[in-house]
Chains A and B, each alone.
Chain A
Amino acid sequence: MTHQYCTFLLDGHLFGVSVASVQEVLKEQAVTPVPLAPREVSGLINLRGQIVTTLDLRTRLGIAPRPAGAPSVSVVVRAADGGPVSLVVDQIGDVLEAPEGALEAPPDTVPAELRELVAGIYKLEDRLMLLLDTERAVTVSEVAA
């Protein structure tokens, strides 16, 4: 049995999220910044009349910030509580099929911030795909304001 994953690139790493949880992929959007928000939140976008929170996945995963001027795309995922959340990534990849057995837990040497949000690592033929735990990824620490 295989699962389909929507893949994207972040700082050279291949990440995957279950196709079922992806609503759509957007090109770069005009983002309204939110002062006082947690630093992962890059702002709010207008998605056909719906206001959607945008998270920068690099910041969320503790990866170095995107070089200035580098292109980005947004993957809009549906969280369990129904509201869509947009995740900013570097580049969108193909939809891949991965066999269930090829999943392995991330090794302990992976930085904790990343390990926490990676449900597992798929050993694909030519490279590794990190499976993103979308539920955790869209849950950011609460800030008091």
Chain B
Amino acid sequence: MDGLDEIVGEFLVESHENLDQLDRDLVELERDPSSRDLLSSVFRTLHTIKGTSGFLAFGTLESVTHVGESLLSRLRDGQMKLDPQITTVLLEMVDAVRELLASIEENGTEGDNDYADLVARLHRILDGERAEPVAEPVVEPVEFEPVPEPAPEAGGPHRRTVADSSIRVDVALLDSLMNLVGELVLTRNQMLQRAATREDIELQRTTHRLNLIAGELQEGVMKTRMQPIDNVWSKLPRVVRDLSVMLGKSVDLHMEGRDTELDKTILEAIRDPLTHLVRNSVDHGIESPEARRAAGKPERGTLVLRAFHEGGQVNIEIADDGAGIDPDKVRAKGRREGDRNLSDREAMNLIFVPGFSTAKAVTNVSGRGVGMDVVKTNIEKIGGTIDLTSTVGHGTTVRIRIPLTLAIIPALVVSAAGNRYAIPQVNLLELVRLEGEQAKSQVETVQGAPVYRLRGRLLPLVDLREQLELPAVERPTTYIAVLQADNRQFGLVVDDIKDTEEIVVKPLGRQLRAISLYAGATIMGDGMVALILDTMALARKAGMALDGSDSVDRSATESGKDERTALLVVGLADGRRAGIALDTVDRLEEFTLDRVERTGGHEVVQYRGHILPLLRLDNALHGYGEPAKGQDLQVVVCHHEGRTVGVVVNAILDIVEEELSIRSHLDTGGHHGSAVVAGHVTELIDISHAIAAFDPALLAPAN
């Protein structure tokens, strides 16, 4: 009995594979109905299933495939021509076969359904009858040219290359191999560390060899787990076809980079998100043929899937040439306070907020507002990122970036309070080291939030000790790991930066899973355990708005974008807010009142060897609030055309960077009008005017 079970098992595995191929071939056939190669391939596949099912006495399966085979043989011989109706019935047959196989897999029998109706319909087509058209897909009528002579089989490129040189291996075996290699890598790391301290040449040589071999082995085993993305994509032509038929749309699906390889685990993890995104594109993205014609676009929509490797990661793009997403509509649908003031880019990211849907109608395909958030969560779970760009009228592109593998990753090892932590290298941009004095002068604070100027951009700093609730400490040297989380960058301040190391990610016990800050743990070269930090969670915990649903973009990563303006937001005594363009701001200073001297009608301070004139912003903007008495002056040192002025403000509130989409020219004396910044009306200050308001003779030359 066991022997038979084994045969059935093999039959099932083989047939499932064949069916996937069948789906792909049939859909491709619809576009190219004359392809003899394709027809032969389909015929062969079905023939194999039929033959084996007959041999194993699965009667229903045999009867269904038999009639399908007959139909295909006619098509192959050019006696009939393939049309959408026939394709639909053939695909239904594939589904029936799949159901039967599932039933066999489950309980060893074919189940109760006899598919008489399907068989009858196949027979009718065989007999040349036309049944009432069922949901004709909108496809260009394809003229069928009967194949005159069977093209010679040999010579031409063969479809499926059944590689005799390959064997089937159970995934569980590969998984355990991978685990073992992980252990080996760890042991090697420990070995290397030990050997480095010994003077034994022979030992050095042996460990060196061990190092090389372990590295190669790791690479080799990793390769066995790599599979082309086509394994997931192959199902999509069918999805697109069925959906477009149902919706009365016509969609061309192009796939580029089918052979891009990914770890099997990751491949499995992106299967559902990808399908969801493709369905979304067909349902919401691509318009009906009428609408497309009216918009001057070709009736057939195009959906492009693209996959490629880049910088140790895999990029997947899903691009449609549909209607695109109107940021205004998204903003209008936003349910939260402040959603209306978002920039276009931020608005796009609202799509990933749970419960959000822009679909006018809820179809059974999509539009329930469930999904995109799940897609995002699933992608993030495997350490990936997702990003969406859209142009109204031209289409939408979703970009997914995911790691090649999850099992062994390069990581940066840092320390805090005597313990080591690993940060996945994919999140790491660069390292900055500031010696004592340097750190004091270069790390500035905005309302208690430390920032560092990295090549002219403000980098928010996050202290690892603070995030881990460890006691704070005075550091002689400040080490900053510049990390990327989503589209934001931040600097993680750590006690020390150790090394980069290949680490094996291991899960944490359930007692610790609730702590989102840790992505897992690993074993270091010396055998100690180190926790792996989750960059996203770290940024989130530090209060950074990652999903774009919060209104303020705090980082400067987007400053290359045209319409964005980086503003220093300050407060006036009467509660008003004013914004100063960040590129005119040199420094933020605090002056005690006794430093203020007077010259002529103006207040000045001695500052870095110059006389710095002070401008009370309250006065300049005709504020009516009383400036706080007896307190230190908050001064924004600004420059303009070689002149420097200290702008005295009541409070320094924030640094924001956003599109100033809502603005008015209501001028209050700042000479730049007003805009809504982070949900508040903010007066914009033109520093040149502010300076000109002074007696120019008093202005200090620039430092």
Contact = CB atoms under 8 A, between A and B. Distances in A.
A and B physically associate: yes
Interface of A: 30, 32-38, 40-41, 43-46, 49-53, 55, 81, 83, 85, 138-140, 142-145
Contacts of A41: 511-512
A46 B527 contact: yes
Contacts of B509: 51-53, 83, 85
Contact of B511 (A30, A32, A35, A138): A138
12 contacts: A32-B529, A34-B515, A34-B531, A37-B511, A40-B511, A41-B512, A44-B508, A49-B523, A51-B508, A53-B508, A83-B510, A145-B541
B419 interface: yes
Question: Main SS of the interface on chain A?
Answer: loop
A37 B511 CA distance: 8
Interface hub of B511, B515, B531, B537 (most chain A Cβ within 10 A):
B511
B196 interface: no
B530 interface: yes
B78 to A, nearest CB: 60
Interface in B661-679: none
**Complex A-B, nearest 10 residue pairs according to Cβ-Cβ distance, in ascending order:** A53-B509, A35-B468, A145-B515, A142-B514, A32-B529, A44-B529, A51-B521, A140-B511, A51-B506, A49-B183
A46 B469 contact: no
A55 B419 contact: no
Contact of A145 (B417, B517, B531): B517
B528 A30 contact: yes
A35 B506 contact: no
Nearest to B470: A35
B245 interface: no
Nearest to B504: A49
B461 interface: no
B512 A35 contact: no
Contact of A45 (B508, B510, B529): B529
Contacts, number: 75
Given A53-B508, A85-B509, A36 B517 contact: yes
Contacts of B530: 32
Contacts of A53: 508-509, 511-512
Interface of B: 183, 186, 417, 419, 468-470, 506-512, 514-518, 521-523, 527-531, 537, 541
B407 to A, nearest CB: 14
Interface hub of A30, A35, A52, A139 (most chain B Cβ within 10 A):
A35
Contact of B529 (A46, A139, A142, A144): A46
Contacts of B523: 46, 49, 51
A143 B183 contact: no
Interface hub of A32, A50, A81 (most chain B Cβ within 10 A):
A32
B537 to A, nearest CB: 8
Given A49-B523, A85-B511, A35 B528 contact: no
Given A32-B528, A35-B469, A49 B186 contact: yes
B414 to A, nearest CB: 14
Contacts of A50: 506
B528 A46 contact: yes
Contacts of B507: 51
Contacts of A30: 527-528
B511 A145 contact: no
A30 B523 CA distance: 12
A108 B183 CA distance: 49
A66 B530 CA distance: 25
Contacts of A81: 510
A35 B515 CA distance: 10
B514 A143 contact: yes
Given A140-B511, A143-B514, 19 more contacts: A32-B419, A32-B530, A34-B515, A35-B468, A35-B470, A36-B517, A41-B512, A44-B508, A44-B529, A46-B528, A46-B529, A50-B506, A51-B509, A51-B529, A53-B511, A83-B509, A85-B511, A142-B514, A145-B537
A16 B12 CA distance: 50
B505 to A, nearest CB: 10
Nearest to B183: A49
Given A36-B468, A45-B529, A144 B521 contact: no
Contacts of A33: 419
A56 to B, nearest CB: 12
A62 B530 CA distance: 28
Contacts of B515: 34, 36-37, 143, 145
A144 B528 contact: no
A42 to B, nearest CB: 11
A46 B183 CA distance: 12
